[in-house]
Amino acid sequence: MKNIAVFASGTGSNFQAIVDASESGTLEAKVTLLVCDRPGVKAIERAEKHGIPTFVFSSKEYRNKEAFETEILKKLKEAKAEFIALAGYMRLIGPTLLSQFQGKMVNIHPSLLPAFPGKDAIGQALEAGVSETGVTVHFVDNGMDTGPIIEQATVPVDENDTAEILQQKIHKIEHELYPKVIQDVLHTPTEKGEFV
């Protein structure tokens, strides 16, 4: 069974979905670390409730991204993490982490990429007046939501949808899709016949 780390910056609802799937056995992986860049958020509380170790940091306490990513790498090694799932982690991943986890790091984004990358994808979709948006799970590269797409699911946008309503609809899909895709990625051989 693979050990995975989850990175989050907020409420941690996707983190919770991953933990629930792991505990129920539908995701054959163990969450061994939560990395969080915002002290005091709900994701930390969720991790503590499940006895999952956390590394919580404030970027302001480090001289640069390389410094805190080096610290994160140390924590990942201690947790024996072999794979990373970003779940609402609001920072671009730098070369320090990417070089060690290339092809072993995925992200979930609340739009049908390449549409509406970056922050407030739900607000962007509403402003654009689209009739559907969705959810994308993709591998992480050095760009903003630009890595190879693994899977997508569509979510209809109704005329009366507020940002809150649309977010709820998207979360429902995310919480089903993300653990399933992580399971597939971890347990499907690559073209070379290896597992991630």
Supply the pLDDT for residue 164: 96
Supply the pLDDT for residue 194: 53
Supply the pLDDT for residue 136: 98
d(CA 116, CA 121) in angstroms, rounded, equals 5
- Domain covering 2-187 assigned CATH 3.50.90.10 in the classification: no
Tokens describing residue 1? 């069974």
Tokens describing residue 96? 């320090």
Supply the pLDDT for residue 188: 80
Instruction: Compute CA 136 distance to the chain's CA centroid, rounded to the nearest angstrom.
Output: 11
Phi, psi of 164 (to 5 degrees): -65, -45
d(CA 96, CA 33) in angstroms, rounded, equals 18
Low-confidence ranges of the chain (pLDDT < 50): 192
User: Among this protein's residues, is 109 annotated catalytic?
Assistant: yes
Supply the pLDDT for residue 162: 95
DSSP code for 167: H
Supply the pLDDT for residue 196: 57
Q: Is 48 helix (H, G, I), strand (E, B) or coil?
A: helix
Supply the pLDDT for residue 37: 96
d(CA 36, CA 25) in angstroms, rounded, equals 25
Supply the pLDDT for residue 190: 60
What are the residue boundaries of the structural domains of the chain, listed by start?
2-187
Catalytic residue among 50, 109, 171, 187: 109
DSSP code for 165: H
Supply the pLDDT for residue 39: 94
